[in-house]
Amino acid sequence: MTKPQLDPDVAYVAPNEPALTAYDEQHVVTYIRLLQAESERADWREVARVVLHMDPEREPDRARTAYQSHLARAKWVTEQGRLLRGAGST
């Protein structure tokens, strides 16, 4: 696994591959921040601004799509991809 960056820029849409990607590995910290923000019921617009570096006021559709796709991928990575649990976990 490559070393994840602490605050990387994100793509417009997160990967939707059936396996972990290099993008997933590089964005582990982003995924953790998204999951934590969701658990704290943070406003998606603030999360998009701070975590995803997107302005929901200027580009609401783009920011919302990026937020939703990255949050969905974060959930997949932790539930199915095993990136955060470790490959040996069940």
**Virtual torsion, Cα 82, 63, 61, 67, nearest 10 deg:** 20
Domain range for 56: 1-90
Q: What's the total number of domains in the chain?
A: 1
pTM, whole model, 2 decimals?
Answer: 0.85
Task: Centre a 10 Å sphere on the Cβ of residue 59 and count the other Cβ atoms it contains.
Answer: 14
Could you report the per-residue pLDDT of 36-54, keeping only the tens digit for each?
Answer: 999 999 999 999 999 999 9
Could you report the per-residue pLDDT of 50-61, keeping only the tens digit for each?
Answer: 999 999 999 999
